[in-house]
A = this chain, B = another copy of it.
């Protein structure tokens, strides 16, 4: 017997048939002798509609009211799934964030969970009831509904699993696991049986949109074993676990790519102390996330500063830098939207040299120019021309021996 939190995303509960299907999956786990709690998202499309209504009334809507409006989506699904489970003969009941409560810090629209009172739910599970928890929502110190930000239901599920001391948190979604790379690009991509939290974090943040980054961070912190699997097939998924659980660690776990970034180059900046701060502090204050950064020093005492920002932030970044032009003292700004970021991720890199070298050589052999490089302990990322994305991903997938 295990205690399991099962989380179902919006496409998994998109209509009554799918909700019935979810109920059947939950029932199967219960009948196998497990204690189960469920976390649900809103039915696919619902949240977008609710957000559009808020925005339609005011682009600067009150986040507290936004929370009251959008939290209804998960409330509906929780009630409906409870009914579906009851119809199949199981004892189930819905729980809103304010009823448990899921205490949050009260930052409306992007709240963080402070704690979940799990005792009552544990008692109910032990007495045979299945709690169906509305994901994405909690209760602020102001006694008002808070939401966790888009995709927050993954975080709800992991936090609940921690509070319930669950053996596993199963995240059901529309993909059946985490792959060595995007199977739409590399047909021979393999599903990973296991992956470490650290690798998952790097993959999630560079474009493998399987799990919300925050939920993986929380899982790592709370040591919650997470499984990603499909609600439409019966195939086993991918387990996201601690490094210790993975006996035979591959050097490279996967190849990720992202076309969501743009490159900005600030040319001929005086090469003196404080110049990086002069550029990046205003960007940070404007809420613009800067990713890769390289600096090339020229002979004439100036330097070129190159970095990437999200494509949606590009215009803001330009405006911000124009405003700071006098202070920074640059010659010009150039931008490039036609770039892709490629990342090779694997905890095995820590103990194996040569991973970056293989990457650079593989790309060079295909005549692909590397524009920017950045590295972390378990990741090497490069910026290349967007038109080479597929070619580069396929070449690297083969070079690291990942082809099935």
Chain A residues 80 to 127 lying within 8 A of chain B, measured CB to CB, are 80, 82-84, 86-87, 93-94, 96, 98-99
Return the contact of A143 from the options B20, B58, B80, B99 (Cβ within 8 A): B99
Q: Are A93 and B64 in contact (CB under 8 A)?
A: yes
Q: Are A99 and B144 in contact (CB under 8 A)?
A: yes
State how many residues of chain A have any CB contact under 8 Å with chain B: 38
Q: Are A80 and B54 in contact (CB under 8 A)?
A: yes
With A72-B72, A76-B72 as given contacts, are A83 and B99 in contact (CB-CB < 8 Å)? no
Measured between beta carbons, the chain B residues less than 8 angstroms from A57 are 16, 19-20, 80, 83-84, 87
Q: Does A50 contact B (CB under 8 A)?
A: yes
Taking the closest CB of chain B, its distance from the CB of A219, in whole angstroms, is 28
Measured between beta carbons, the chain B residues less than 8 angstroms from A56 are 16
Q: How far is the CA of A20 from the CA of B53 in the complex (A)?
A: 12
Q: Does A78 contact B (CB under 8 A)?
A: yes
Taking the closest CB of chain B, its distance from the CB of A103, in whole angstroms, is 16
> Which residues does A use to contact B, with CB under 8 Å?
16, 19-20, 50, 53-54, 56-58, 61-62, 64-69, 71-73, 75-76, 78-80, 82-84, 86-87, 93-94, 96, 98-99, 143-145
Q: How far is the CA of A96 from the CA of B68 in the complex (A)?
A: 9
Measured between beta carbons, the chain B residues less than 8 angstroms from A65 are 79-80, 82-83, 86, 93-94
In the complex, residue of chain B having the shortest beta-carbon distance to the beta carbon of A94: B68
Measured between beta carbons, the chain B residues less than 8 angstroms from A82 are 62, 65, 68
Q: How far is the CA of A20 from the CA of B57 in the complex (A)?
A: 8
Q: Are B83 and A54 in contact (CB under 8 A)?
A: yes
Number of copies: 2
Measured between beta carbons, the chain B residues less than 8 angstroms from A76 are 50, 53, 69, 72
Return the contact of A75 from the options B61, B69, B79, B84 (Cβ within 8 A): B69
Return the contact of A72 from the options B66, B75, B98 (Cβ within 8 A): B75
Q: Are B86 and A58 in contact (CB under 8 A)?
A: yes
Measured between beta carbons, the chain B residues less than 8 angstroms from A78 are 68
Q: How far is the CA of A64 from the CA of B56 in the complex (A)?
A: 33
In the complex, residue of chain B having the shortest beta-carbon distance to the beta carbon of A54: B83
Given contacts A62-B86, A66-B83, A68-B78, 8 further A-B contacts (CB under 8 A): A16-B53, A57-B80, A61-B86, A62-B82, A66-B79, A98-B98, A99-B143, A99-B144
With A65-B93, A96-B68, A143-B99 as given contacts, are A58 and B87 in contact (CB-CB < 8 Å)? yes
Q: How far is the CA of A330 from the CA of B82 in the complex (A)?
A: 47
Taking the closest CB of chain B, its distance from the CB of A260, in whole angstroms, is 30
Q: How far is the CA of A87 from the CA of B54 in the complex (A)?
A: 11
In the complex, residue of chain B having the shortest beta-carbon distance to the beta carbon of A86: B62
What are 27 residue pairs bridging A and B, where the CB atoms are less than 8 Å apart in the complex? A16-B57, A19-B57, A20-B57, A53-B76, A53-B80, A54-B79, A54-B80, A57-B83, A58-B83, A58-B84, A58-B87, A61-B86, A62-B83, A65-B80, A65-B83, A65-B93, A65-B94, A68-B79, A68-B82, A69-B75, A69-B76, A69-B83, A72-B72, A72-B73, A72-B76, A96-B145, A98-B98
